[in-house]
Amino acid sequence: MQFTFYKYQGTGNDFVMIDNRHAIFDKNDTKLIAFLCDRRFGIGADGLILLENHEVYDFKMVYFNADGNESTMCGNGGRCIVAFAKFLGLIDQKAVFEAIDGKHEATIADGLVHLQMQDVDRIEAFKSHVFLDTGSPHHVQLDKNLSELDVKSKGASIRYGTPYHQRGGTNVNFVTKKSNDRFSVRTYERGVEDETLSCGTGVTAVAIAMHYIGETEKNLITLLTEGGELQVTFDNTASGYHNIWLIGPATQVFKGTLS
């Protein structure tokens, strides 16, 4: 069967996007998904996203890592599928959709997609790092030599190390503070098993972690990734972090057909 695909990117985090409202794509074909995401033999992407029908909301998001396996929430992918839904005419400026971690709301304004993330009420702070789940699990640690860091090697050692191998692994974020409300971030993503140019749930985790450990008192934080700038805003109460929004661009790169 021949089908149309679209390539989207959000601050360099790129995705193969497929309109699967007519159930044309086999979600169980792990090898096909991995092939499509392969940068040498396929289209090339950090992940593949299916837009599907939903009984109540505007659409459903189904996300697969580049290894072909369905994964936890992807923040930049969530922003990209909102832009894709607007391109398809499913939404105008607002969207409500379901992802693997539940309901999400989003808006599009001035070329930026604002995506509401899930609340965070549990954060584990250690001497060298912070661990929290922002739809996907994230290890966050400060590092002064971000530009010289071997993210793939160091990230993999943490991702597969104790105690994360018992939790199914984790994403790993290395952070340098630039000012009171600006932080540079480099991320190793599980499933991709390499550094990505940007990670939406990752920068969300970084913003919350930096606030939690007192590196900033701001609730609007700019994150500088290898692929561009993202912003995270939130409310902090005694019960945790709420009203969390991930903000940034999402762009269609090209479309094509595959047999």
Task: Read off the CATH number of the domain in which 9 is found.
Answer: 3.10.310.10
Q: Do 78 and 151 share a structural domain? A: no
pLDDT for 166: 79
pLDDT for 3: 87
Count of other CB atoms within 10 angstroms of residue 22: 9
Instruction: Go through 205-227 and write b for each residue having 16 or more CB atoms within 10 A of its CB, e for each that does not.
Output: bbbbbbbbeebbebbebbbbbbb
Contact between 81 and 97 under an 8 Å Cβ cutoff? The reply is yes
42-49: average pLDDT: 97
Task: Give me the number of domains the chain comprises.
Answer: 2
Q: Do 144 and 45 share a structural domain? A: no
Report if residue 116 sits inside a domain.
no
pLDDT digits (tens, 9 = 90+) for 234-257: 999 999 999 999 999 999 999 999
pLDDT digits (tens, 9 = 90+) for 117-136: 999 999 999 999 999 999 99
Q: Do 140 and 189 share a structural domain? A: yes
Residues tagged active-site = 74, 199
Count of other CB atoms within 10 angstroms of residue 124: 10
Cα–Cα distance between 121 and 242 in angstroms, integer? 8
Contact between 11 and 197 under an 8 Å Cβ cutoff? The reply is yes
pLDDT for 235: 98
Report if residue 30 sits inside a domain.
yes
Show the domain range for 51.
Answer: 3-111+250-258
Q: Do 127 and 99 share a structural domain? A: no
Tell me the whole-structure pTM to 2 decimals: 0.96
